[in-house]
Amino acid sequence: MQSVNTKNWTYSRYIKDQFMALITFGANPETIDKGELEYYVTVLEDELTEVFQASFQSLPEACIFLNQKYSDWNFEDQTAPKSGCSTCAAH
């Protein structure tokens, strides 16, 4: 079974209907001065509207949460070859 991990998290996600669950990273205004990053498990609707977000102090924690909560959705690897009338990224 494929899952999101510390090596593929930047280009893998889970998809179900109009929803996608993925990991991003950023900083908390209260800890940015310390150089600390946070990892966010985010669910988007129609690729635009955020409907859920949880923050984690480490990437492995975010991966575990994402896989436990959304692994029943379809796994999508953004680097996998596309199918359709062309091989461009638009398809």
Residue 83 belongs to a domain: no
Residue 91 belongs to a domain: no
Residue 91 pLDDT: 47
Residue 84 belongs to a domain: no
C-beta of residue 15 within 8 angstroms of C-beta of residue 47: no
Residue 15 pLDDT: 97
The pLDDT tens digits of the residues spanning 14-59 come to: 999 999 999 999 988 888 888 889 999 999 999 999 999 999 999 9
pTM of this structure? 0.81
Residue 3 belongs to a domain: no
Residue 4 belongs to a domain: no
Structural domain that includes position 20: 12-77
Alpha carbon separation from 74 to 3, 20, 42, 45, 88 (Å, rounded): 10, 9, 16, 15, 22
